[in-house]
Structure 1
Amino acid sequence: MHTFINRLNNLFAFTVIVFAVLTIGVFLSTYFKQYHETLRTTANKSIVKHMIDFLVNRKKNDLGILQLDLDMYLNSLFDWNIKELFLYLIAE
């Protein structure tokens, strides 16, 4: 007859294996999905102003003011495990 510790060890080993298989399944369910979406941007208004910097030698600095119109459809990026998206815009 098996002791209590042997049965507890078997139960623990079984649960670890089940969790490992579930973790691999979760990983494989989203690894091959492509998370890319197209974005359409238009610049409605762009203004460049010359501002005087009062801290350093009163040099003129450029101040750019942009008004952008972003049009994107991001519903396809949400999956069963994505709850929040972090978006950033890079200007060159």
Structure 2
Amino acid sequence: MYSTSQRISAVFGLFTTVVFTLCAFIAATSWLFTPEPITEVSIRNVNVVKGRTAYQRSDKSQEYALLKFDLDYDLTSLFHWNTKQLFIYLVASYDTPQTTNEVVVWDRIIQQKTQAKRRVRGEKNKYNVNDINGSFK
């Protein structure tokens, strides 16, 4: 008769073989999957306004960029058997004399394939767009 440790070793060996085979199958199907998302962004309007920061206690005014944009996206090809949700975001980049800055302007979480195709018109930026120096000049 087999001992308890031999039985546990056999069950553990079977378990690791099954898990390894499943992982190899997942990796192989990932190479076969070629998503082709379709996106199009057009900027409608960019306004730079002056205002005060809400988190500072100074009277210093700062410039903010207010954006309006149109966004068309079809991300249904990204959903497959292992996709639970998508996190999409829109990044605006602008140049200063020192560096190039990138700021997240808008984001959305898509949890179903039915939400993965949409036309957004006249959307405003979700997050404040301001430079660390207080001016975009």
Which letter maps to 2:26?
V
RMSD: 2.4
Larger strand percent:
2
Q: Does the 8 A contact of 2:37 with 2:76 survive in 1?
A: no
Moved more, 62-71 or 47-56: 47-56
Larger Rg: 1
Larger helix percent:
1
Q: How does 1:3-82 map to 2 (within 5 A)?
A: 3-5=2-4, 6-51=6-51, 55-56=58-59, 58=60, 60-82=61-83
TM-score of the superposed pair, with normalisation by structure 2: 0.54
Which letter maps to 1:55?
S
Count of equivalent residues: 89
Secondary structure in 2 matching 1:55? coil
Q: Which runs of 5 or more structure 2 residues have no equivalent in the other structure?
A: 94-137
Q: Which runs of 5 or more structure 1 residues have no equivalent in the other structure?
A: none
Deviations 1:7-43 (A, max 9, x none): 4432331222122111111122114534452311111
